[in-house]
Structure 1
C-alpha cells in the first residue's frame, strides 16, 4: 500500500497541518492501492508564505538563471519518463504506451517549448513613443490541475510560472497524486530555490478554495470543469486576482464529402476515443455532409467495433477504463440518455465490454442520426462516446458547429485547401485541426465561451504570468539633463 502523507513546501517534504486520508484507486481493478493525506487551509497558508518569501529574490533572477533551471527540469523529467508513465497508468488508467509516450512524454516536450519561448522573450523594450515597457513576474500563483492529463496540465502551468520568475503553489488532483510527487521530485532535482515551487495535496472545497481566496496569491490558473472554474473565479474576485481558466469542450469535427474518408474517419473516431474519451478537446460531435453520410457512418461503426478495450498495465493502442466509478456511472447515464432521446445506437452501448467484468471500463459507443439539440450533442460526456450529426451545406455545418456553449477545439476534414481556410476562419474555437494536423508544442491552447479564458503554451502561456510596467526612458531623460547626477 502506497502512502503519500507529506506536502512539498519550502524545498522539503513536510507533514500537513490537519487534513484527511483519501484513497488512491486503480481504475482497472476497482481496488485501493494507496492513500494520500489531503491538506488544509493551514497548509495553503504555509505554502503561500514560502512562495511569498521566495518571490522576493526569484523575481529578480536573470533569464539565464531561469533557463538553466528549466533545462535541468527537462532533463530530470526525461530521466523519470518510465516512472511517470507507470504512475499515471496505475492511478488514472491510461494504457502504458499512452501513459509513457504521450502523458509522461509531454513534460519534457513542454519544457523544450518554454525554453524556446523564454529565450525569445523580451523582458524590456522601447515603444515607438520612447517609453519603456518592462515585463515582470506577477507574484505568487495558485495552480489547480485535473486528473485526466495530469503532467500535461502541471507542466503547462508550473513551467511558464517559473520561467516568468513567479513562484507557485500547485494543487494537483487528489485522484492522481503519484505523478505529482514525481514532478515535485524533478523540480527539487533541478535545483530550484526553496519556496519557488510548492505542492499541497487536497480537494477543491478546502485547499482549492483556500488558494483562490488567499490575499497573497496574485493569480489563479485552473483546469477542470466549467462549473468548478466558475467557483474559482468567484472565490478569486474578492482580491481581484488574475484568473486563467481552461475548461470543458464539446468539439465539432466537420467531415466534408471531398475528404479522404477512408483515412480521416477512422482517425477521427480513434481520436475521440483517445484516453478513453477523457479529453476536454476530444472531437465528440462528428458533423457529416449528407452526400457521404451513410459511408461515414459505416466507417465509424467499423472503427468502433475494432477498438480494443483492455488492461491499462499492458502496452498497445487499446483504451483503458474510465478513471473512477462516478465517471463510469455518468457515462452510462449519458448513453442511456442518448437512447431515450431517440438517437440511433450504432456501436457500443450500456455496460462493460465483453470479458471485462471488473474495472470501470465502458464500451466505445457511437450514436448516429443525432441532432444538435440533444443533450448528448450539447453536454460534455468525458467518455468514449461519439455523436454523428448530418448537415446539408457548408454554411449549415458552420452553424451547427458554432451552436455550442463551448469553443475549445474544432476539426475540419476536407480535400479543398480553400474550404479548409474558409471554414476554419469561421469556427468559434481556440484551436482548429485540419485533416488530422493539430497545433504543435509551443502554440497556444485555450478556448472561447464556456471553454475558458487565457492561453497555455509557449510565448502565450508565458505572458499569462507576467505584468506590464511602463516608464519613461531614463537614458533619454539623462541626455536631456533631467537629472542632477549620473
Structure 2
C-alpha cells in the first residue's frame, strides 16, 4: 500500500514532515496478531507545530466565501471514490473489518458524510436579520479532532468535513490503533488542494498527542469520539482554556420489541445489528427488550443468528464477522462474558474463548445472554463486542423504564406494528437517536447522545453548526444618517 510511505510522517502546513523525535508504534493486524506497519508517534512539540500552522491559516480560510469553500471541498468526493478500494483494504487490515463490510459500509459511510456535508453547506444560512440585529454564525477557530478506530472513515469524515465547511482550520489526531485509513484520507485532501495549514494530521497516543491537542490555548473546539472515560479526560484537559468540547461517547442502546410486530423478524434483525462490525459500534442495539413470556423464543431466535454467522478471515468476501480490534478489547470482552455467567444470566449461544478452528486472531464468539436483569454488569457496561443481552419487560411503561435505566443515551430502537405506539414510546426514550421499525441509517439525521454518551451533534447541517460561534451585531439595520 502506498499509504505506508507516509505512515511514519505527519501532515503539517501542507507537507508530509518527519516527527520531532524517533518514536513509533507497530500497527497490529487483529486477524493475525502480527505487525502490518508502523506509525510515528507525535510529541507535544509536533502537536504544537500543527496547531500553530492551523492558527496561521485560520484568518484566510475563515474569510473565504461559502462558494469558495465549496469549490475546494467539492474536489474531494471524486478523489475519494478513486481511492475507495485502497481505503477499504486499509480499514480491513488495520481493524479487522470483513472486506465486504469495509467496502460497502465503512468506506461508503465516509463518502456519504463528505457528500452530505457539501450539500448542507450549499444551503446553510450563515447570516440572518432580526429587527435591526444581524445574527452571524462564524467559524469558531482551530478545531482539534480526535477520532476512534471502530468506524474510522465515518468518524473522520463527519468531523473534518463540517469543520472545514464551517470555515475552521483543523488538526486531526486519528486513532493510533487503526491509523492507515487516516493517512489515505489525508492524501486525498492534499490532492484536493486545500491551502497549506487548513488541514493538518498528527498520529499519536491519546495520552500524549490527544492531551496536548485538548490543552492547547490556540485550539477553540475539540471534537472527540471514544470511550466515556477518555472523553472525561479530554474535557478535563480542555477546561482551563474554556474551549468548546464536543463528545460522542459510549452507548448501551436498547431495542424494544413489542409483540404486535413480526417478532421473529425483529429479533433476527436486532441480533444481526448487534453483532455487525464484531459488535464494535457505539450505537449497536446491545440490549434487546422483549415481553417476559417471549423470552425463551427470543433467546432461541437470537442464538440461531449467532450460530449461523460466518466468522473468519476478513479478506474473504464471504466473512460476516471478523476479529475485534486488539488483545485489550478481546480480553475485556472475555471478562465481561464471564461476569454475565457469574451473575446469573442464561447463556443461549457463544461464551468465552475463540470460535472453533480460529486459534490465531482476536476472534470472539457471538454471544447471546437471556434473562438479563438491570443490576447485571452486562446490562450496564458497554462491552464493545458481539454480545447481546436480552431483558424481559412486563408492559410498555416497564419497557421504557428499562430502556432508560443506564447512564448512557446514544441510541435506541423500537419495533412495533403500531406506528402510533412506536412514536409515543420514542418520545419517552432518553436517547439522541431513536430508530423505528428498522428505518434505514441516514447521514442527514443529527447524531449524538444524552448523559454519559456525550454532548453535541454530528452529521449534515447539525455538524456544521457545532463549529460555529454566534455573533449579534445590534443596530446593524439602522442608518445613522437617518437621524
TM-score normalised to structure 2 length? 0.98
In the alignment, which residue of structure 1 is the partner of 2:171? 169
Which of these residues, 32, 35, 41, is aligned with residue 32 of structure 1? 35
1:253-264 aligned at under 5 Å gives the runs 253-264=255-266
Contact 1:94 1:321 in 2 (8 A): yes
In the alignment, which residue of structure 2 is the partner of 1:368? 370
- Greater than 3 Å deviation, 4+ residue runs: none
In the alignment, which residue of structure 2 is the partner of 1:159? 161
Contact 2:13 2:200 in 1 (8 A): yes
Secondary structure of 2:170's aligned partner = strand
In the alignment, which residue of structure 2 is the partner of 1:67? 70
In the alignment, which residue of structure 2 is the partner of 1:346? 348
The 2-side partners of 1:316 and 1:456 are apart by 32
Contact 2:31 2:96 in 1 (8 A): yes
1:133-212 aligned at under 5 Å gives the runs 133-212=135-214
Contact 2:150 2:280 in 1 (8 A): yes
In the alignment, which residue of structure 2 is the partner of 1:49? 52
Which of these residues, 307, 311, 314, is aligned with residue 313 of structure 2? 311
Deviation at 1:317, TM superposition (A): 5.3
Give the number of equivalent residue pairs.
480
CA RMSD of aligned residues (A): 1.2
Which of these residues, 99, 106, 109, is aligned with residue 109 of structure 2? 106
Q: Relative to structure 1, is the Cα distance of residues 186 and 360 closer, same or farther in structure 2, using a 3 angstrom cutoff? A: same
TM-score normalised to structure 1 length? 0.97
The 1-side partners of 2:445 and 2:418 are apart by 24
The 2-side partners of 1:68 and 1:457 are apart by 20
Secondary structure of 2:148's aligned partner = coil
Which of these residues, 450, 453, 468, is aligned with residue 451 of structure 1? 453
In the alignment, which residue of structure 2 is the partner of 1:279? 281
Which of these residues, 373, 382, 385, is aligned with residue 384 of structure 2? 382
Secondary structure of 1:231's aligned partner = helix
In the alignment, which residue of structure 1 is the partner of 2:402? 400
Deviation at 1:467, TM superposition (A): 0.6
The 2-side partners of 1:307 and 1:91 are apart by 22
Which of these residues, 62, 86, 89, is aligned with residue 86 of structure 1? 89
CA offset digits 1:154-178 (Å, max 9, x no partner): 0111000000010010000011111
CA offset digits 1:320-349 (Å, max 9, x no partner): 001011100011111111111111000001
The 1-side partners of 2:22 and 2:285 are apart by 39
Secondary structure of 2:479's aligned partner = helix
Contact 2:313 2:319 in 1 (8 A): no
In the alignment, which residue of structure 1 is the partner of 2:433? 431
Secondary structure of 2:116's aligned partner = helix
The 1-side partners of 2:449 and 2:440 are apart by 14
Q: Relative to structure 1, is the Cα distance of residues 473 and 191 closer, same or farther in structure 2, using a 3 angstrom cutoff? A: farther
Alignment partner of 1:58 is 2:61: yes
Secondary structure of 1:42's aligned partner = helix
Alignment partner of 1:461 is 2:440: no
The 2-side partners of 1:428 and 1:259 are apart by 22
In the alignment, which residue of structure 2 is the partner of 1:270? 272
Structure 1 alignment gaps of length 5 or more: 482-486
